[in-house]
Amino acid sequence: MSWGEMQDDGGGAALGGAAAAGANTAQNSVHLNKQSITQNCHNTTAAPAPQSEFESRSPSPAPTTSPIIPREQWAGKHEFLLSCIGYCVGLGNVWRFPYLCYRNGGGVFLIPYFIMLIVTGVPLFLMELSLGQYGAAGPITVWKCCPLLKGIGIGMLCVSTLVCLYYNVIIAWTFYYLGSSFQSPLPWSCDAVANAALCGNNATGNGSTGGALSPTEKFWNERVLGVVHSEGLHDPGPVRWPLALCLLAAWFIIFLCMLKGIRSSGKVVYVTATFPYFVLIVLIIRGATLEGSLQGVAFYLTPDWSRLSNAQVWNDAASQIFYSLGIGVGGLLSMASYNKFDNNVIRDTLIITAGNCCTSFFAGFAIFSILGHMAWRKGVPVGEVADTGPGLAFVAYPEALALLPGSVFWSILFFLMLFMLGVDTLFGNMEGITTAVMDEFPHLRGNMLHKSLFLGALCFCFYLLGLLLVTNGGIYWFTLIDSFSTSFGLIIITLFMCIGISFFYGVDQFCQDIIDMICPCPPWCRKVLLYFKACWVFFTPFLLLFILTYIFIEMYKTSLRYGSYVYPLWGKALGVCMGATCCLQILIWAIVAICKETGTLKDRFKKTIRPLSSWRVNTLNRRAEESVEPERVEAPFTVTLTDMDFTAMTWESGSQA
């Protein structure tokens, strides 16, 4: 679907098309002369506004006759909202937020969490959506607004690549568990014959005797990961082919769902974004009926007010906001680029961020009610069965599900939910990569065969690289990439994005762009924009610097671990290089942009922070195409025929004879 594609229906429509073209020309001249669009959304003749530092470039050259390949557009408003909610609501909401909440003071963790959400999460979320929607471009091309910072888009692409590389491995694990869940009894339960020796005479359930591994730990470490056969990062060992086949199936599903771009993925999210909510509701209802569930919920929410003075709590809150909302990875920016120009981006931001954070809080009840039941069955504190990361999703929770009547059904339901959560998030990350590449090489967008080949090659390359993560020692590499791909590099990228838009492009100009998009802008939107403006200029950069400083201190003081394995220094250095590669793109491409300009260093710098002429021309053309339609006759209407009409018809029939 093109941006307001217009067709000439001949006759009177051709005349209307000429008028429309004239209107487009007039609109272009108005925009190039820096005359603003009035608040009632009509382009009127106005006195030229004083030129700002962003508008001092020479007038744009005459339009070229090169064909413009139309961009796709969301088929409906709900597709965009569901895609963004599905992208944000991921595995982190289920396995990361509940654990962080319990580890950092229970219910008191919600205070720093919501403060970080309001001061950093929502403003940066709005910035990404607005930038993508206004520019109608991916993470790289959108920086026509400030060519000096093109490296931010390249850095986002690097982060997305690292995230896609390891995130689909989680989906492969989910596939493996989903397939194993169709066995009765579950292969990680005490009812399985192979686990009789592990469980012994333990009558309390699925626990282990002495210091031995529990059946779920044995299944996870030996049958799924094979980590017991690896000595560490330097010893990956052979590929585990059952997992490799699961990974291949996962990438094939991603390829099929994204084959037609947002036209296909936009339909898939109707299922993948809503199904997890159904499962969470079912799990909460089931958990509430179990003995000991209130003990788990109390453990989840009991506040420890002394934790508010700990900097670790505030850092965990900020990191969870970034991890959950998907800020700075390029997925949000790419999905917003397919919106209509006049979409209310502020309203969407508030809906998506509120929905995401409420889902995280909501999921905690489903998780800890069942973990409380497991602690009651085993006669141990809830803190001894709670875990974080993959340990919660693939060890503690499967163990709890194995204790429930009808464990096969609940296990299938749970891992199907994890699959849906993972696929939605991967859609957004992949969309960021594909949109960025196709904006730089537009011919891919216009040729379905080339686009399919590109997407297929991209998925296959990710699959080949991901084989390292499904070896015996793959979990060590998984943990390394997971720890550093979205660490300091991502914070630096978002910090420069915030500074670049606020001080180089201009926060006043950016706010005006948002008002132009939401035209007519409701009064409440203008008031909210004042708050966001203060965040972008002061509060958000300050908090990002605080988070960045804390990350560097912790990275220097603490060693990276997986279980009892301590990563060697070279492994940690490799992780630092991953993060540094992402953020160094900003410096590299800034130098390239400056070298392309002429004049003194100061002049070159000034030129590179001004928007390119095509930035506003393309935006205005896009709005004009959406608003101007060919002339058409409105029904009902009346046509009055005269004698001259019939005479003319007779003459025409005579001439044809």
Ligand-binding site membership of 89 (annotated): yes
Q: Across residues 288-292, what is the average pLDDT? A: 88
pLDDT for position 499? 94
The whole-angstrom separation of Cα 7 and Cα 522 is 33
* Type of residue numbered 212: A
Q: Which helix (H) or strand (E) holds 561?
A: strand 561-562
DSSP secondary structure string for all residues of 8-32: --STHHHHHHHHHHHHHHHHHHHHH
Phi first, then psi: what are they for 513, rounded to 5°?
-60, -40
Q: How many CA atoms lie within 13 A of 186 on its CB side?
A: 27
Q: Which residue has the higher pLDDT, 572 or 56?
A: 572
- Per-residue pLDDT averaged across 217-242, rounded? 91
| pLDDT at residue number 19 | 40
Distance CA 549, CA 547 (A): 5
C-alpha to C-alpha distance for 549 and 543, rounded to whole angstroms? 10
pLDDT at 541 over 90: yes
**HSE-up of 396 (CA within 13 Å, CB side)?**
25
379 labelled ligand-binding: no
The whole-number average pLDDT for the span 215-220 is 89
Residue written as token pair 């909610």: 85
Which of 220, 185, 115 shows the shortest CA–CA distance to 563?
A: 220
Residues 6+ apart with CB under 8 A from 133: 336, 337, 339, 341, 343, 345, 517
CA dihedral 567, 572, 573, 577 (to 10 degrees): 140
Task: Specify the pLDDT at position 503.
Answer: 93
The DSSP element (H or E) to which 412 belongs, if any, is helix 407-440
Please tell me the predicted confidence (pLDDT) of residue 207: 47
Euclidean distance between CA atoms 358 and 426, whole angstroms: 21
pLDDT of residue 620: 59
What's the one-letter identity of residue 216? T
Percentage of the residues of the chain whose pLDDT score is greater than 90: 40
User: Which of 502, 516, 492, 468 has its CA nearest to residue 583?
Assistant: 492
Answer yes or no: are the C-beta atoms of 174 and 371 closer than 8 Å.
no
* Continuous segment of H or E residues that includes residue 566: strand 565-566
- At residue 68, the pLDDT reads 56
Overall residue count recorded for the chain in this entry = 657
> Do 352 and 125 touch, CB atoms closer than 8 A?
yes
Lookup: tokens for 36: 């603003």
Structure tokens at 480: 């390394």
Q: Any binding-site annotation on 421?
A: yes
Q: What is the mean pLDDT of the chain?
A: 81
Q: Does residue 86 have a known ligand-binding role? A: yes
Q: Check whether 39 has a pLDDT greater than 60.
A: no
pLDDT value at position 316?
85
- Model confidence at 613: pLDDT above 80: yes
Q: pLDDT tens digits for 375-387?
A: 888 888 887 776 6
Task: Tell me the per-residue pLDDT of 306-337, one tens digit each, with 9 for 90 and over.
Answer: 888 888 888 888 888 988 898 989 999 999 99
The SS3 of residue 565 is: strand
* Interval 353-360 mean pLDDT: 91
**Alpha carbon separation from 544 to 15, 221, 322, 540, 548 (Å, rounded):** 55, 37, 11, 6, 6
Least confident piece of the model among 95-109, 116-130, 607-621: 607-621
Report whether pLDDT(275) > 80: yes
pLDDT band at 657, cuts 50/70/90?
Answer: very low
Structure confidence at residue 495 (pLDDT)? 94
**Across residues 578-590, what is the average pLDDT?**
94
Rounded Cα gap, residues 319 and 316, in angstroms: 5
Q: Is 324 annotated as a binding residue?
A: yes
The pLDDT score that the predictor gives to residue 585 is 95
Q: Positive or negative CA dihedral for 477, 479, 483, 489?
A: positive
- Helices 77-88 and 407-440, interaxial angle, to 10°? 110
Reported as a single tens digit per residue, the pLDDT across 493-534 is 999 999 999 999 999 999 999 999 987 888 888 889 999 999
Cβ 392 vs Cβ 368: under 8 Å = no
Ranges 117-126, 294-303, 382-391: which has the least confidence: 382-391
What pLDDT does 476 receive?
94
591: which 2 tokens? 């130098």
> Phi/psi class of residue 210: alpha, beta or left (left: φ > 0; alpha: ψ in -120 to 50)?
left
Tokens in use for 10? Answer: 């001949």
Work out whether the CA dihedral 580, 586, 589, 595 comes out positive or negative: negative
More reliable by pLDDT, 228 or 23: 228
Cβ-based burial of 343 (10 A; exposed 0-12, middle 13-18, buried ≥19): middle
Closest residue by Cα to residue 322 from 552, 151, 88, 163: 88
Model confidence pLDDT, tens digit, residues 409-428 = 999 999 999 999 998 889 88
What confidence category does residue 647 fall into, taking pLDDT thresholds of 50, 70 and 90?
low
DSSP bridge partners of 561 = 566
Q: How far apart are CA 520 and CA 40, in angstroms?
A: 6
Instruction: Report d(CA 550, CA 558) in Å as an integer.
Output: 12
Is pLDDT of 20 > 60? no
Is it the case that residue 15 has pLDDT exceeding 50?
Answer: no
